[in-house]
Amino acid sequence: MHLSEGVLHSSTLIIGAVCAVVGVAIGLKKMNYEHLSITALFASAFFVASTIHIPVGIGSVHLILNGIAGLFLGWAVFPAFLIALVLQVLLFSFGGFAVLGVNLCIMALPALAVRLLVFPMLRKATTRKGLILSGVLAGVIGVGGSALIASLVLAFDGGKAYGDLIGLLLVSHLPVFVVDSLVSVGVILTLAKMMPEALK
């Protein structure tokens, strides 16, 4: 769901950059450096998932996995995703440096919402059904939140001119809702079986 360079006005890029800087600063301050390995793991998973993408209009369709990452990282998703996005710009020219702040917010803010909304539910989950529901919500909120923020950014910046592209962006991500949720459920069920303490 990377937005391309040359699409957004400078004012929108500045707002995105400021929000991203604030998020990264808070993420670095709140990051538990004893869990740096799991932060790197989710950053690399996000990096790999996002590299397998299909260009659609002025964005792209790919797995995001931001919901499951946010579930376990919280604010640390900002610095983790920043590293992944910078590497994608440098190695594959996805997005661009000018739009880096906006793309980071598109990915990281829904991930943070998953942490705040779903993690308390996951900690209290005592049944397989509760674990599955947590995974589904992580996928839906992560992908849905990113699609919503990207759509709002395009609507704010371009108005009706981007109307068709916004519709295309939302429709093209419908399969991602399903796949992202399935992957999130799989991760949670695997951790519940092999490392139950990780869910607490």
Compare 137 and 36 and report the one with higher pLDDT: 137
Q: What is the pLDDT of residue 199?
A: 76
The H or E element that residue 152 is part of is helix 128-158
Residue range 101-156, pLDDT digits in tens: 999 999 999 999 999 999 999 988 888 999 999 999 999 999 999 989 988 888 88
Compare 128 and 196 and report the one with higher pLDDT: 128
| Residue 5 to residue 8: CA distance in whole angstroms | 7
**Which token pair is 186?**
């799989």
Residue 90 to residues 87, 107, 145, Cα–Cα distance (Å): 5, 18, 26
Q: What is the pLDDT of residue 185?
A: 93
Q: How confident is the model at residue 177 (pLDDT cuts 50, 70, 90)?
A: confident
Residue range 49-67, pLDDT digits in tens: 777 766 665 556 677 889 9
| Residue 143 to residue 149: CA distance in whole angstroms | 10
Could you count the other beta carbons within 10 Å of the beta carbon of residue 109?
20
CATH number of this structure's domain 2-199: 1.10.1760.20
